[in-house]
Structure 1
Amino acid sequence: MQVCAHLPPAGRDLRLDLFRGLANWAIFLDHIPHEVLSWVTSRHYGFSDAADMFVFISGYTAAFVFGRVMIERGYLAAVSRLLKRALELYAAHIMVVFVYIAVVASVSRGLNDPNDLDVFNVAAFINKPLWEFFQILALRYRPVNLDVLPLYILLMGTFAPALWLMVRKPTLALMGSIVVYLAARHFGWNLATSRVTVWYFNPFAWQLLFFLGAWIAVGGAEAAQSIVRTRTVFWLAIAYLVFAFVVTMANPSPQLGGLLPAWLLAPFDPNDKTNLAPYRIVHLLALAVVVTRFLPADSPILRLRSLVPLIKCGQNSLQVFCIGIVLSFCAHAAIELSLNALWVQIFAGTAGVLLMTMGAYYWTWSKQRGRMVLSATRLGDVA
């Protein structure tokens, strides 16, 4: 089959880095119970949240990067790069799981609070370490808040065959993804964990967001441009975002909820995150329509110095995510020890974001230094 993909121009799209960094900050804050700063994240004001954004952008980036490799260097080169990336993600996940378990266990014992071992699903590993060790390797066991990375690993590790079709028949690949999504929701497909439960992020459902991002990267955005750019679609997106805001604010509030009919609120309570409810997908796409209208790829806003920390975090997303996971429990322990003191919530959230940002700057410096050393070594060999 002939290649039909129309990839964006080569080079970084700073919007992807910006929103991936924003997603990492939001995931960190959302993982901290009783954290007042989490009220600035999107999950309180609409159906989708940072996880939806992260998976969607990951699909776009995967198709953009590895699709170009496939077109320019062939299928085997793209598969090799994809598997290498999946192994990097896998290694990072294994490492952060053990660090997280060690931190939770140490803090819980130090504070004489064994309840956290159960709350964060660490007691299972302590009770059966050898069994759960093998479950960790199989991605079947993970402590609380460590669900996004296994989903990402699985999607990247299985993306190669789909990418072959995506760069040749992108719409057909997307239709296949939609069929899997609908079948998973209808038949209840999911993967099992080691604790007689299922994956919190159902991969059969969440793959659709990944494929949507990939489809847009290989030409979907160009194909849908004439429709998406119309004023009708823009105002429909605005209307849906307002509706999602009202419903999301009303559901947990008896005062606001009483102003709206129960039949209107019922379909959205609870918000079906595990199986990726359709209204979450529509909400994310509505956000994408509005954001791309006001923030084109060449917008001078992306050059603002105030946004550089977020962009750096997006450019070092894996490292920042892993740091944020561990820091989220540390922040939780500090807040719990202070009996939910407001100043501790603000301090813990702010300190965590600063440490994540410092980690991003360090990794940027480390990569630049590595390139300089490599260049100097090559020049020395030539000399």
Structure 2
Amino acid sequence: MTAGVEESSWMSAADRAAFEGKGAAVAQAASWSPSVSTPTFALASGQRELRLDLFRGLALWLIYIDHVSPDLLTWLTIRNYGFSDAAEIFIFISGFTAALVYGRATLEAGFLIGTARMLRRVWQIYTAHLLLFLVLMAEIAYVVAVSEKPSFYIQEMEVANFFKEPGPMMIQALLLRFRPLNMDVLPLYVVLMAFLPLVLLLARLHRDLPLALSIVFYALTIRLDLHLSTYGEGFWSFNPCAWQLLFVFGAWCALGGGRRLSPILDSPLVFWPAVTYLCAAFFVTLTWYFPQLEGFIPAWLARLIYPINKTDFDVLRFAHFLALAVVTLRFVPSDWSGLRSHWLRPLILCGQYSLQIFALGVALSFAGYALLMELDAGVVLHVIVGATGILIMSGIARTFTWYKWAMTGRERAKAVATDLTAQTP
């Protein structure tokens, strides 16, 4: 992998992180002090962090499982065992990798060119969302036409307004104010990426300024109930005003904050409280499914922690994600041999093509969900449908990898042939 490889229009941010960085200034190891505008990136130029790919691939698989079998297979995901779920993993890593890629691009080419590249990525995510919208609406329309319970799917996927007024709803879809169920992550990603230039600009003024302002904005969001509206007097299921905290935190870690946090995260004084918090969160979630356990939670504590709001990214969810990160980093270091395992290769490949695999997963999840509902399926068929979707996602990711390898080899051969021709007298 060389720094001169051109980025693909559909290549994931994590994938491009291995190719970006041409200047020596980017690779320097000097720390980014408040008076110096050059950051120390979490990864050196051309270095690859497979853990980013691994855990983003895992998040994509978990999101698919949560969507395809929300009442059964979710017991195999992290959603039912704590306050946070795969969405936190996806958004954090997206912020981390975006800051790596476009932070270097901005440092090398200047703020104007760097911003143009970030807006290009915003456009790619936006168009992917619209394509996914069309595919999903086509799936829903087909299932509604052949099913004996069409109203169930219309209500379940929250598309009744679309079938009543498709013209106006298409306009609202273009404005990101109307979308079916399970199509909330990409609009959130669009908004967060659109504000990444501001995050990088603030980081040039002071290394901690973006995170500090993000925390203040998050507090104002909770206090003043700031949110974005949807069609029909609704609101975004993932409030960007709140979820920006996790995205900016990921960017801050990529721009040197993670290195400064490492000594703290490695301390037993942090590890064991993190384990304790995870255990406490697990017990609280058990009370949601076994009401007889609610009596073990004091009334004052219940009033303090509830509601644990996902829409506004409750601080308990953020704390749960941080605790998971602390424990995970302890058991999965950067030099972990498992990262080279063939068994984990499908996860890593899916993480490297996150935008495509996410869109594919959402489309597959509704198809699988409809199949399970129509057949009134049991546990075995749920497992088969879940596993089949994951195999398809992994196969597509491997196909993308093969295609990129084939094209890279062809371009390299063409370059050699051109060089030999030029040297022929």
In the alignment, structure 1 residue 2 sits paired with structure 2 residue 36: yes
Bigger mean CA deviation after superposition, 32-41 or 200-209: 32-41
**2:225 counterpart of 1:188:** yes
Aligned twin of 2:407: 370
Determine the C-alpha separation between the residues in 1 that align with 2:187 and 2:283.
33
Aligned to 2:20: none
Alpha-carbon deviation of 1:135?
1.2
- Cα–Cα, structure 1 residues 129 and 274, in superposed 2: closer, same or farther, change >3 Å? same
Conserved? CA contact 1:167–1:218, under 8 Å:
no
Aligned length: 383
Greater Cα shift, 69-78 or 154-163? 69-78
Bigger mean CA deviation after superposition, 263-272 or 144-153: 263-272
Match of 2:258 in 1: 221
CA contact (8 A) 1:17 1:312 kept: yes
- Aligned twin of 2:4: none
Tell me how far apart the structure 1 counterparts of residues 269 and 339 of structure 2 sit (CA, whole Å).
Answer: 27
Give secondary structure in 2 for the equivalent of 1:251: helix
Residue 370 of structure 2 is matched in structure 1 by 333
Tell me what 1:355 maps to. 392
Partner of 1:114: 150
What secondary structure is seen at the aligned counterpart in 2 of 1:6? coil
Greater displacement, 13-22 / 218-227: 218-227
One-letter code aligned to 2:140: V
> Aligned AA for 1:217?
A
Amino acid at match of 1:75: F
Quick check: 341-350 or 16-25, which moved more?
341-350
**What corresponds to 1:241 in structure 2?**
278
Out of 145, 154, 160, which is 2:182 matched to?
145
- Map residues 254-333 of structure 1 onto 2, 5 A cutoff: 254-333=291-370
Whether the aligned pair in 1 keeps the contact of 2:82 and 2:320 (CA below 8 Å) is yes
**Cα offset, 1:68, TM superposition:** 1.5
- 268-277 or 213-222, which moves further after superposition? 268-277
Answer yes or no: is the 8 Å Cα contact 2:92–2:250 preserved in 1. Answer: yes
| CA shift digits 1:154-185 (9 cap, x unpaired) | 11122112212224412111111111111011
Amino acid in the other structure paired with 2:84: S
Structure-1 residue corresponding to 2:14: none
| 1:44 counterpart = 2:54 | no
Instruction: Give the TM-score normalised by the residue count of structure 2.
Output: 0.86
Q: Secondary structure at the match of 1:305?
A: coil
Distance 1:348 1:272 in 2: 30
Candidates 134, 137, 146, aligned match of 1:101 = 137
- Pick aligned residue for 1:230 from 235, 260, 267: 267
Contact 2:54 2:347 in 1 (8 A): yes
Measured on the aligned residues, the alpha-carbon RMSD in Å equals: 1.7
Which stretch shows the higher mean deviation, 178-187 or 260-269? 260-269
For residues 247-284 of structure 1, the C-alpha deviation after alignment (integer angstroms, 9 at most, x for no partner) is 11122311322333344345445430000000111111
8 A Cα contact 1:247 1:265, kept in partner: no
Q: Contact conserved, 2:69 with 2:382, CA < 8 A, in 1?
A: no
Q: Which residue of 2 aligns with 1:78?
A: 114
One-letter code aligned to 1:151: L
Q: Which has the higher contact order (CA 8 A, sep 6+)?
A: 1
**1:27 matched to 2:63:** yes
Structure 1 CA distance for aligned equivalents of residues 307 and 289 of structure 2: 10
Task: From the superposition, tell whether residues 268 and 341 of structure 1 become closer, same or farther in structure 2 (CA, over 3 Å).
Answer: farther
Q: CA deviation at 1:338?
A: 2.0
Which digits, 9 at most, give the CA deviation of each residue in 1:316-349, with x for residues without a partner? 1111111110111111111111224222211111
Q: Contact 1:29–1:35 at 8 Å: present in 2 too?
A: no
The match for 2:19 is none
**In structure 1, the residue corresponding to 2:183 is in which secondary structure?**
coil
- Partner AA of 1:160 in structure 2: P
Which amino acid in structure 1 is aligned with residue 50 of structure 2?
Answer: L
* SS across alignment from 2:259: helix
Moved more, 254-263 or 156-165: 254-263
Deviations 1:41-76 (A, max 9, x none): 111111110001110111111111111222233222
Which whole-Å CA distance do the structure 1 matches of 2:359 and 2:158 have between them? 18
Report the AA paired with residue 131 of structure 1: P
CA contact (8 A) 1:124 1:132 kept: yes
Aligned pair in 2 of structure 1 residues 262, 283: CA closer, same or farther (>3 Å)? same
Separation in 2, partners of 1:369, 1:267: 57
Q: How does 1:172-187 map to 2 (within 5 A)?
A: 172-187=209-224
How many percent of aligned residue pairs carry the same amino acid? Answer: 41
Contact 2:308 2:316 (C-alpha < 8 Å) held by counterparts: no
Note if contact 1:36-1:346 (Cα within 8 Å) is conserved in structure 2.
no
Structure 1 residues without counterparts, runs of 5 or longer: none
Greater CA deviation, 286-295 or 307-316?
Answer: 286-295
Contact 1:190 1:202 in 2 (8 A): yes
Distance in 1 separating the partners of 2:322 and 2:73: 25
Find the aligned partners of 1:285 and 1:327 in 2 and give their Cα distance. 30
- Partners of 1:167 and 1:294 lie apart in 2 by 34
1:92 to 128, 132, 141: 128
In structure 1, distance between residues paired with 2:415 and 2:305: 59
1:216 Cα deviation from its structure 2 partner: 0.8
Given candidates 246, 249, 260, the residue that maps to 1:212 is 249
User: Partner letter of residue 52 of structure 1?
Assistant: E
Partner secondary structure for residue 237 of structure 2:
coil
1:197 matched to 2:234: yes
- Unpaired runs of 5+ residues, structure 2, are 1-34
What is the alpha-carbon distance in structure 1 between the residues aligned to residue 304 and residue 142 of structure 2? 42
Distance in 1 of aligned mates of 2:64 and 2:209: 36
